[in-house]
Chain A
Amino acid sequence: NAGVTQTPKFQVLKTGQSMTLQCAQDMNHNSMYWYRQDPGMGLRLIYYSASEGTTDKGEVPNGYNVSRLNKREFSLRLESAAPSQTSVYFCASSVDRARQETQYFGPGTRLLVL
């Protein structure tokens, strides 16, 4: 039981390049989330998927797109990377969208945009 996995672990991009961050969970969770973590700002929600087939914007969705490929996988795409998107990206999942559900986090993807 690997929990939440993310690939890649680290990536360097040039401004304008595109890439997709992959996330998968093997806990049969319904809800999945993408966050970015920046120094002094905690985690900010980019997008979430309450259940398979649905996605919704979070606090900072601009410049990102997501795909809930199936129940296990939730990808985050940067179409045209900008230096402001340099950050650590975390994927998380929870059993369901009930408000008291604990989220389980992946190890993170460190992205540097030059």
Chain B
Amino acid sequence: AQSVAQPEDQVNVAEGNPLTVKCTYSVSGNPYLFWYVQYPNRGLQFLLKYITGDNLVKGSYGFEAEFNKSQTSFHLKKPSALVSDSALYFCAVIYNFNKFYFGSGTKLNVKP
């Protein structure tokens, strides 16, 4: 089955430390991968996407993600976390032409 998985329900990190939010995928063919962020009581906001080209993708708010085809992963990273980064993060993969599959989400808690 085509899918995307976020193995961690929650990630806790101290402000100023690097953060990683994990995502793995399982789709046939070449995946199109996205990261979205959701703040409380808000809709999802686009962070970054991988379509083709460089495996390291840079996005909004200092976030970046690394596409690893051999490990079928697309982990979200940031060198130095901010308290304001605390939110719910979703990985998504486009499959079957126009259908998005979203991961279950990872809650990021950045503590001062």
A complexed with B: yes
Number of A-B contacts (CB under 8 A): 61
Chain B contact residue count (CB 8 A cutoff): 25
A102-B49 in contact (CB<8A)? yes
Cβ proximity bits A81-107 to B, threshold 8 Å, 1 near / 0 not:
000000000101000010110111111
Give the interface segment out of B11-19, B62-70, B97-105. Answer: B97-105
A35 to B103, CA, bound (A): 13
CB distance from A48 to the nearest CB of B (A): 6
A48 to B105, CA, bound (A): 22
From known contacts A97-B97, A99-B97, A100-B94, infer whether A90 and B43 are also in contact, taking CB-CB under 8 Å. yes
Residue of chain A at shortest CB distance from B4: A42
A residues within 8 Å of B by Cβ? 4, 31, 33, 35, 40-45, 48, 50, 58-59, 90, 92, 97, 99-100, 102-108
Contact sample, A vs B, 12 pairs, CB 8 Å cutoff: A4-B43, A33-B100, A42-B105, A45-B99, A48-B99, A59-B101, A99-B32, A102-B46, A104-B46, A107-B42, A107-B43, A108-B42
